[in-house]
Structure 1
Amino acid sequence: MTNLDKAIAIATRAHAGQTDKGGNPYILHALRVMMQFEHHNEMIVAVLHDVVEDTGLTAADLEKYGFSEDIIATIDCLSRQRGESYDSFLARIAQDDLARRVKIADIKDNLNLTRLDQLTNRDMARAKKYHKALKVLAE
């Protein structure tokens, strides 16, 4: 089993039972983000980009699974810290090239509002926040 196969399996287990804003299995989001990349290490980071922030997995767990320090550091960079403002989070991501590119792919996928049955004011506010984040990360 390659590290990419392992990452996909880990992400699938970690996100089991989670759904996105449209009610779809959350793993589909992680897989769509992953498919925006070509190189295995980029794809590994992309498919695992939310596991530390949104599941019970930790960076130490990823180390036990045998992922490299670089991959783990990038995934950790993509994980918003408790008490961290969104602006500080984006500024931190902007310092890591791969984290920045994965976050851009993540945001672009989240901006696909066609997956939602109906748009709410919260959805529109979130889209506005994401557009602002894209501008920050594109600088």
Structure 2
Amino acid sequence: MTDLESAISLAVKLHAGQTDKSGKPYILHPLRVMLSLDGEQDMVVGVLHDVVEDCTTGHGDILALFGEDVWSAVMALTRNPVETYEDFILRAKANGIARRVKIADIKDNMRPGAEHLLPRYEKALAVLLSA
């Protein structure tokens, strides 16, 4: 099994039973993020980007299964409850993989129904897309 296949399998298992705000299976969001990315490593991080924050897995599991680069990117995409959203975005921007995945994540989150969050997402995208 490839790392991408393992990551998809793990994400499906860990997000099982979770739904988004519209009642659809939550796993559809990480899968959409993954599919919008290029390169296996980015896609692995894309499908795993919410597992530490939203599921019962520990970050050590990601490190053991997928290695340092994937672990570092997933951790950069895992928000610390005591940091501001702006600091979180800056931390994600500092990791190349995390930056690309966060851009894809925000674009997916800007789907209809999240209009109240558009200013926040637009500001975050501007930061992530800046040099």
What is the 5 A alignment of 1:38-117? 38-64=38-64, 66-113=65-112, 116=113
In the other structure, the counterpart of 1:134 is: 125
* CA-CA distance at 1:41 after TM superposition: 0.9
Number of aligned residues = 130
TM-score, structure 2 length as denominator? 0.94
CA distance in 1, matches of 2:62, 2:95: 19
Give the 3-state SS of the residue equivalent to 1:20 in structure 2: coil
CA displacement, residues 99-118 of structure 1 (integer Å, 9 cap, x when unaligned): 111000000001011xx4xx
Q: Which runs of 4+ in 1 moved over 2 A?
A: none
User: Which has the greater radius of gyration?
Assistant: 1
What's the % identity of the aligned pairs?
47
CA distance in 1, matches of 2:38, 2:127: 24
The answer as to whether partners of 2:89 and 2:124 remain within 8 angstroms in 1 is yes
* CA-CA distance at 1:38 after TM superposition: 2.5
* CA-CA distance at 1:131 after TM superposition: 1.2
CA RMSD of aligned residues (A): 1.1
CA distance in 1, matches of 2:27, 2:58: 18
- Runs of 5+ consecutive residues of structure 1 not aligned to the other structure: 117-122
In the other structure, the counterpart of 1:11 is: 11
- Runs of 5+ consecutive residues of structure 2 not aligned to the other structure: none
Q: Which amino acid aligns with 2:19?
A: T
